[in-house]
Amino acid sequence: MSTLLPLLDALDDRPQARDLRERTYQALGETVVDVGCGSGRAVGELAARGVRAIGVDRDPAMIGIAAERWPAGEFHVADATALPLEAGSVTGYRADKVLHALAEPEQAVAEARRVLARDGRAVLVGQDWDTFVIDADDPARVRELVHARADGMPHPRIARRYRNLLLDNGFTDVTVEVHTIVWTDAGVLPVLANLGDGPWLDEQAARARDDRLFVAVPMFLATGTRAA
């Protein structure tokens, strides 16, 4: 986690990421649970707006960091499929870059429906891990690395299923948007290093030095209303 946290902080600080977070906060109501809250930034930002913001993460260390950073929030160690909340107790549910890491993402969405009040809003955000767009001299090698990284996750392509997951669990007014995060600077190199090292990464570092780097990651944002 010691190496992951600075990377997450750097990504969250990018203007495009901040804009996307703002989009996810719309119409969540007065009581919101943020599932997979990590270091708690969304909880802190929502709490600063007068929302009762509840952060849930299965990593106790992350919850400890979140509680220290954002004392106005409420934090719990729990799994996304078994939230420590009563049925119908929240007006908004948010899961940002979470479902791909779950063994049973369908159960997490069913749990979202359980804890949401009538007409409550669910927001699912994340990338399809097959859709990293990277300009490189060897596109075949990039495809190989991206697919290998994706195949190491429980559900790397879950974002393309967000709409159907919401519909299958009785949500209405379901919408899907795509917001693309673009990098043209060395700030993305730690992200690329997670795909693999070697000559291809050296090439990307050289591109960054020469102002010729291009990486784009489409982020899928799906929303739905909990029907009666």
Residue of 175, 166, 45, 35 whose CA lies nearest to 98: 35
Rounded Cα–Cα distance for residues 64 and 70 (Å): 10
CA 71 distance to own-chain centroid: 22
Residue 58 is given by DSSP the state: S
Tens digits of per-residue pLDDT, 177-228?
Answer: 999 999 999 999 998 998 999 999 999 999 999 999 999 999 999 999 999 8
Mean pLDDT for all residues in the chain: 95
User: Can you give the residue ranges of every domain in the chain?
Assistant: 4-128+155-181+219-226
The answer to whether residue 2 scores a pLDDT higher than 60 is no
Phi first, then psi: give them for residue 75, nearest 5 degrees.
-130, 145
Q: What is the pLDDT of residue 53?
A: 98
Tens digits of per-residue pLDDT, 69-109?
Answer: 999 999 999 999 999 999 999 999 999 999 999 999 999 99
| Interstrand relation of 52-57 and 31-35 (parallel, antiparallel or unpaired) | parallel
Buried b vs exposed e over 10-32: b needs ≥16 C-beta within 10 Å?
ebbebeebeebbeebbeebbebb
Tens digits of per-residue pLDDT, 109-159?
Answer: 999 999 999 999 999 999 999 999 999 999 999 999 999 999 999 999 999
* pTM (two decimals): 0.94
Q: Which residues pair with 215 in a beta bridge?
A: 134, 183
- 4-128+155-181+219-226 sits in which CATH class? alpha beta
Q: Is the dihedral of CA 200, 206, 211, 212 positive or negative?
A: negative
Q: What is the pLDDT of residue 4?
A: 72
